[in-house]
Amino acid sequence: MKKVVVLTGAGMSAESGISTFRDSGGLWEQYPVEDVATPEGYARNPKLVLDFYNARRRQLFDVKPCRGHELLALMEHDYEVTVITQNVDNLHERAGSTHVLHLHGELMKATSSAHPDDPKYIVDLPQEHPDIHMGDLASDGSQLRPFIVWFGEPVPLIEKAVELVEQADIFIVIGTSLNVYPAAGLLHYVPSATPVYLIDPKPVAVSSRQKVFFIREGASKGMEELLSLLKKSNNNM
């Protein structure tokens, strides 16, 4: 069974109604990144940061996976699929994807402020009580914080992501501008003989040594087109 590795970004979840960060009218226009997505912002005003992510978490309960998420999950019937996502929502899992690597953390988890990357302090937040409040403590006694990789923090799972990409028989990019590193750099680890498909309604600048097949559609229509292309390719083999 061929190995398919998929890199997804904010455009993947935009069709579900989750606000993107970088587009016009996105979250960064409403909330300066320095205030809510850096360790320094958290140190200055932890309550602001907790409230920001509490609101993002509650939004999850009002949205559902889009058709693109569902089609990606259905690919597991025919391929060995691993999703590497820059998104912190749980829509891939809710759609049925069983192998999801979250590069930038997970919204429905919390961790220690003192040791944010230590697995023994990472906890699932219950759906019935999803908010994190000042005074909620991790098991090491520090304030609980969102399990999110903020700007300026290391990305602990990037090496695992590189290993997965190096083994890909098919590499798919959906809904990411390829501007955020180190995730954007994963493209450089795709084997030279591996076809690369990029799904995005907007033009995306790509520097890659291999040919990239562009599908200028959103996640759902793009996935439908991609599956049709793959089916034709398999029939011609």
* Three-state secondary structure call for residue 230: helix
Tokens of 155: 């990305």
Within 8 A by CB and 6+ apart from 115, the residues are 121, 140, 142
**8 A C-beta contact, residue 112 and residue 100:** no
DSSP 196: E
**8 A C-beta contact, residue 53 and residue 148:** yes
Rounded to an integer, what distance in angstroms lies between the CA atom of residue 92 and that of residue 98?
8
Rounded to an integer, what distance in angstroms lies between the CA atom of residue 49 and that of residue 109?
15
92 catalytic residue (yes or no) = no
Rounded to an integer, what distance in angstroms lies between the CA atom of residue 232 and that of residue 204?
25
DSSP 62: T
Rounded to an integer, what distance in angstroms lies between the CA atom of residue 115 and that of residue 38?
15
Catalytic site residue from 69, 77, 104, 133: 104
Query: Catalytic amino acids?
Result: 104
